[in-house]
Amino acid sequence: NAVSRVLHDVNGVKFGEYKLKSGLLAPIYIHLRVLVSHPALTHQVTTCCLHDWAAVPLCVPYTALPLATVTCSRYELPLVIRQKEAKDYGELPSTDFQKGDTCLIIEDTVTSGTSSLETAEGLCKEARMTSDMFLFTVTDAVVLMDREQGGVEMLASKGIKLHPIISMSQLLRVLQAAERIDAQTSQSVHKFIRDNNTFCPKNGSDSPASKKLELSYSERAELGNIYLLASKLLKIMEEKQSNLCVSADVTNSEELLQLAESLGPKICMLKTHADILEDYTSAFIQNMQALAEKHNFLIFEDHKFADIGNTVKRQYDGGLYQISSWSHIVNAHAVPGVVKGLSAVGKPLGRGCLLIAQMSCQGTLAAGEYTKAAVQMAEEHSDSVMGFICGSKLTERPEFIHMTPGVQMQAGGKSDCTHGYTVHAFSGTSFVVVTRGAPSSTDCTPEGEACTVSDQEIQRFV
């Protein structure tokens, strides 16, 4: 109880409205990094951490490091730290491990329990690869603050028992009894915890957590932190019961307009390549805009911007095509400066940008660290980036659109390097871009393929 009150005193626990890394707005913020600035409080907490534990402490990197270090120093115990980053010369930290030893995970705060589990599993894997003498087991974890959002249950399902020093319910109870918070604040936090439980048992498809895994299009459209154009797109998807974009890679403007007219009622977005049209005119663009308005779909110019900011601004706003004047959405490679350049032109016009985070080409470099960097760039510029071009779900933040290109009804691919994806080959994306490749059915028209994909896919998202 005393620890709860002191944590509140030093702003280790704050109440209000806070935007979390996940994008969610929370009524409470846990900031346990303040422990390092308050030695007396840290000393008080360490008293609880290793009481009667006969195990080697294992620290979750890296926010729990100060707590684990002080605790182990106080009790004169060796501490094992698993590095997050892989090292070419990587070895296990030196310690007095004996084969068959038990490790105790030390963590500062637990939400889903994923970090603790990854620490245990990762270090055990590294140990097995290094030497047989390092084999050990992890059966327990001690944590300063359990947010009560599924971490206890998830770790228990993996054979690890979590021992919280403070639980969220206990914290709220103590602070309300001390008149630090009122009943309404306590109820608000409890509701947030219930609505954002992260644990979904494999055989528990009807659990509250499983029902919250996927928001509907309409629910995502109403999120407070969603980009306005992404909200508009999600509303179109809900209204039309479609998550389809058709890639209209044709070279004749009249043919493109005919496709827009025939497919318009069935799609939410039409992907174009203006620079391959042999008869591009401003009159064509006016007609395309009229069809987009008539059939309620967005225009996505697949330009793949990839240059310094100033050049990108000129490419987007000027030149022959003046893309920003008519295309709702464009895409770009994760090149430094490109988002800033596009945003300077497109944001005042309400335009949106998709970052190319993954590609289906053989030998693509858009993978691994590049993909991670693209996600980070999007999160840092969420006021103008509305999502990703990708083959799988890249972030749990529901305000981002995930678009999978090159989807076909059967395996195969275009004649160039692009292999594409079959309709069932992608995971967690919210939008499918149907390629010009022939469908598996006897109906070889783009309309036939679009409708078949829609019938199979839309029920997963709406």
| Whole-number pLDDT of residue 194 | 86
Query: What is the CATH number for 61?
Result: 3.40.50.2020
Single out the catalytic residue among 232, 266, 302, 313: 302
Active site residue 307: yes
Residues 402 and 424 in one domain: yes
Task: Supply the pLDDT for residue 95.
Answer: 52
Question: Which residue in 235, 307, 347, 414 is the catalytic one?
Answer: 307
SS3 state of residue 5: helix
Domain boundary residue, one of 174, 195, 211: 211
Strand ranges, E, within 122-184: 137-146, 161-167
Last residue of a domain, one of 190, 211, 232: 211
User: Could you tell me if 298 and 415 lie in one domain?
Assistant: yes
Residue 226 and residue 204 share a domain: no
Residue 271, marked binder? yes
**Domain's final residue, options 211, 236, 255:** 211
In this predicted structure, what is the pLDDT of residue 96? 55
249 appears as a binding residue in the annotation? yes
Q: Which of 220-234, 361-375, 395-409 has the lowest mean pLDDT?
A: 395-409
Domain that holds residue 253: 217-460
The two tokens of residue 208 are 């509250």
In whole numbers, what is the pLDDT of the chain averaged over residues? 79
What's residue 57's pLDDT? 78
List of residues 6+ apart from 361 with CB closer than 8 A = 417, 418, 419
Query: Catalytic residue at 455?
Result: no
Confidence at residue 248, expressed as pLDDT on a 0 to 100 scale? 83
Nearest to 421 by CA among 436, 438, 404: 404
pTM: 0.54
* Nearest Cα to Cα of residue 385 among 430, 432, 346, 437: 346
pLDDT at 202 over 60: no
Average pLDDT over residues 279-304: 96
Q: Are residues 258 and 205 in the same domain?
A: no
Task: Check residues 368 and 168 and name the one with the higher pLDDT.
Answer: 168
What would the pLDDT profile of 336-357 be if each residue is shown by its tens digit? 899 999 999 999 999 999 999 9
Domain CATH number, residue 399: 3.20.20.70
Q: Is 206 a catalytic residue?
A: no
- Which region holds residue 89: left if phi is over 0, alpha if psi is between -120 and 50, else beta? alpha
Instruction: Give the per-residue pLDDT at 435.
Output: 57
Q: What is the mean pLDDT of residues 233-252?
A: 89
pLDDT for the residue 179: 92
What is the mean pLDDT of the segment spanning 265-281?
Answer: 94
Place of tokens 């105790």: 104
Range of weakest confidence among 18-32, 46-60, 95-109, 448-462: 448-462
Residues 91 and 68 both lie in one domain: yes
Averaged over 18-45, what is the pLDDT?
87
CA 299 to CA 73: how far, in whole Å? 61
* In the predicted structure, residue 423 carries a pLDDT above the cut 50: no
**152-174: b or e for each residue (b if 16 or more CB lie within 10 Å)?**
bbbbeeeebebbbbbbbebbbeb
**Per-residue pLDDT at 377 exceeds 90:** yes
Number of domains in the chain: 2
- Whether 441 has a pLDDT exceeding 90, the answer reads no
pLDDT of 40 above 80: yes
pLDDT for residue 204? 46
Is the model's pLDDT at 459 over the cut of 50?
no
pLDDT of residue 405: 79
180 and 51 share one domain: yes
Residue 200: what pLDDT? 66
Decide if pLDDT at 291 tops 80: yes
Is 253 annotated to bind ligand?
A: no
Please tell me which of 99-103, 287-291, 375-379 the model is most confident about, judged by mean pLDDT: 287-291
What's the average model confidence in pLDDT over 393-412? 72
360 is in an annotated binding site: yes
Cβ pair 49, 142 in contact under 8 A:
yes
Task: For residues 155 and 298, state if they share a domain.
Answer: no
pLDDT of residue 81: 77
* Tens digit of each residue's pLDDT (9 = 90 or more) over 142-172: 899 999 998 898 888 888 888 889 999 999 9
Note whether 333 and 395 are same-domain residues.
yes
Mean pLDDT is lowest, of 48-52, 279-283, 363-367, 433-437, for: 433-437
* Pair (132, 200) in one structural domain: yes
Does one domain contain both 125 and 39? yes
pLDDT tier at 51, thresholds 50, 70, 90: low
Which of 9, 304, 372, 443 is the catalytic position?
A: 304
Q: Do 162 and 273 sit in the same domain of this protein?
A: no
Please indicate, yes or no, whether residues 73 and 113 belong to a single structural domain of this protein.
yes
Which of 15-29, 205-219, 235-249, 296-310 has the lowest average pLDDT?
205-219
Dist. CA 117–CA 58, nearest whole Å: 12
